C-alpha cells in the first residue's frame, strides 16, 4: 500500500490553487469550482464557501420572514391564549405586539411561559414582566453585519422595519446561519417529511439525509460518496448545482430536481430508476424545442 503521509492535505492543495491570486470575485468563484472539479472540495464545502461570499452582499430583506408569515402574540392576551400559539408554532420566540404588527413591543420566550406551566403557576404569568426588549433593524442592513451583532449581543431575533418604520418582517439567527450552511430542520418540521406521490415517487427537501434514502429506495451506491444530503448527492452526480427540471439516474435511483437556486438544491422527486446501474442525465429545459 502506498504511503500517503507525505501527500499534501486538501487544504494545502486548495491554498496552492488560490495562490493564482484571483483578481475579482468572478475569478475566485471560478477557482473554487475548479477546486471542486479536482476533488479538492466536496459539494457541501463549495456551497458553504459560496454561501459565506453571498451573505456579505445580501441585505436583511433578502432573508427575513415576511410580515404576513410572522407568528405573534398580543401584549394583552391572557396566559391560556398564549400557550396554544407557542405549542402550535413550535417557535422558541414570538414577537409581542400591541395594537397591530407595526407596534412590536417586545419578544416573548417560550421557556419563560413554560416555566410557569411546569410549576403550575400559569395563572400568575404576566407577559409585561417577562417579555424581552425587541431588537429593531432596517431591512437594508447587511446580513453579515447583523450576524456579527447577533453574536456580539447574544440576540437570536430582530424585527425588520422598512424606510417608513413599519414592520416588514423578522430575521432570526437560524435564518442567517441557513444562508451559509443550508436549510436546518429537525424531525418535527414538515420539510423533513417524505411525501408519497400517486405515481410511486417520493418528494423530499434537499436536506433529506442520504442514509434515509438508502432505506427509502434500497439505495446502494456503487462507489463511495461524500454527500450527506440528497442535495449534495445530486450536485455530486451532476458535477454542478443542477437546475429545476433536470434529472439524474444512477445506482438504481432517479433524482428529479423540482426547485433549486444558484447555490443548492431545495426540493427533489425520488424514484427507482427504470434502468438500474446506468448513468443518465435528462436536461429537459435545454433539449426540448
Q: What is the pLDDT of residues 263-281, one digit of tens each?
A: 678 889 999 886 544 455 5
What's the grid cell of residue 7? 501527500
21 torsion bin: left (phi>0), alpha (psi -120 to 50), beta (else): left
Which pLDDT does position 13 carry in this prediction?
56
Specify the long-range contacts of residues 155-158, CB closer than 8 Å, at least 24 apart: 156/92, 156/93, 157/93, 157/95, 157/107, 158/60, 158/134
Q: How far apart are CA 235 and CA 232, in angstroms?
A: 5
Cα angle 16, 44, 208; round to 5: 170
Q: How far apart are CA 279 and CA 289, in angstroms?
A: 24
Which pLDDT does position 188 carry in this prediction?
44
Which pLDDT does position 187 carry in this prediction?
45
pLDDT at 47 over 70: yes
Q: Which of 102, 98, 170 is nearest to 128 (CA)?
A: 98
**Rounded to the nearest 10 degrees, what angle do helices 43-55 and 173-181 cross at?**
130
3-state secondary structure of 30: helix
Q: What is the pLDDT of residues 119-174, one digit of tens each?
A: 888 888 889 888 999 999 999 999 888 988 998 988 899 999 998 889 999 999 88
Q: Which of 209, 217, 277, 287 is nearest to 249 (CA)?
A: 277
Mean pLDDT of 184-197: 58
Q: What is the pLDDT of residues 214-229, one digit of tens each?
A: 778 878 888 877 777 8
Which pLDDT does position 197 carry in this prediction?
82
Which pLDDT does position 22 carry in this prediction?
62
- The neighbouring-strand residues paired with 281 are 248
Which pLDDT does position 16 carry in this prediction?
58
Which pLDDT does position 283 carry in this prediction?
47
User: Within 13 Å of residue 205, how many CA atoms lie on the same side as its CB?
Assistant: 14
Q: What is the pLDDT of residues 90-111, one digit of tens each?
A: 788 899 998 778 889 999 998 8
CB 236 within 8 A of CB 43: yes
In our burial notation (b when 16+ CB lie closer than 10 A, e otherwise), range 177-205 reads ebbbebbeeeeeeeebeeeeeeeebbbbb
Q: What is the sign of the dihedral through the CA atoms of 177, 178, 179 and 181?
A: positive
Which pLDDT does position 108 carry in this prediction?
92
Which pLDDT does position 262 carry in this prediction?
67
What integer best gives the mean pLDDT of the chain? 79
Cα angle 287, 288, 289; round to 5: 115
What's the grid cell of residue 63? 432573508
Which pLDDT does position 223 carry in this prediction?
80
Give me the DSSP letters along 210-243: HHHHHHHH----SS----SBHHHHHHHHHTS-PP
What's the grid cell of residue 17? 490553487
pLDDT at 2 over 70: no
Which pLDDT does position 177 carry in this prediction?
79
Amino acid at each position: 500500500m502506498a504511503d500517503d503521509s507525505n501527500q499534501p492535505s486538501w487544504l494545502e492543495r486548495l491554498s496552492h490553487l488560490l495562490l493564482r491570486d484571483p483578481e475579482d470575485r468572478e475569478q475566485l468563484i471560478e477557482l473554487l469550482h475548479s477546486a471542486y472539479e479536482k476533488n479538492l472540495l466536496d459539494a457541501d464545502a463549495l456551497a458553504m464557501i459560496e454561501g459565506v461570499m453571498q451573505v456579505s452582499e445580501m441585505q436583511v430583506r433578502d432573508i427575513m420572514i415576511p410580515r404576513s408569515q410572522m407568528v405573534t402574540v398580543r401584549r394583552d392576551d391572557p396566559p391560556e391564549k398564549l400557550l396554544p400559539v407557542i405549542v402550535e408554532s413550535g417557535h422558541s420566540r414570538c414577537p409581542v405586539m400591541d395594537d397591530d404588527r407595526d407596534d412590536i413591543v417586545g419578544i416573548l420566550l417560550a421557556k419563560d411561559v413554560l416555566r410557569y406551566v411546569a410549576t403550575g403557576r400559569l395563572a400568575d404569568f404576566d407577559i409585561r414582566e417577562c417579555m424581552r426588549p425587541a431588537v429593531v433593524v432596517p431591512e437594508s442592513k447587511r446580513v453579515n453585519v447583523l450576524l456579527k451583532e447577533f453574536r456580539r449581543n447574544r440576540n437570536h431575533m430582530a424585527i425588520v422595519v422598512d424606510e417608513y418604520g413599519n414592520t416588514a418582517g423578522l430575521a432570526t439567527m437560524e435564518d442567517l446561519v441557513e444562508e451559509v450552511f443550508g436549510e436546518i430542520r429537525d424531525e418535527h418540521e414538515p420539510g423533513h417529511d417524505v411525501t408519497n406521490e400517486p405515481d410511486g415517487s417520493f418528494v423530499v427537501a434537499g436536506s433529506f439525509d442520504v442514509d434515509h434514502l438508502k432505506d427509502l429506495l434500497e439505495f446502494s451506491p456503487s462507489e463511495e460518496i461524500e454527500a450527506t444530503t440528497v442535495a449534495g448527492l445530486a450536485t455530486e452526480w451532476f458535477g454542478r448545482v443542477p437546475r429545476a427540471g433536470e434529472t439524474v439516474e444512477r445506482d438504481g435511483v432517479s433524482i428529479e430536481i423540482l426547485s433549486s437556486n444558484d447555490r443548492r438544491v431545495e426540493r427533489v422527486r425520488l424514484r427507482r430508476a427504470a434502468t438500474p446501474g446506468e448513468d443518465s442525465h435528462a436536461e429537459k429545459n435545454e433539449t426540448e424545442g
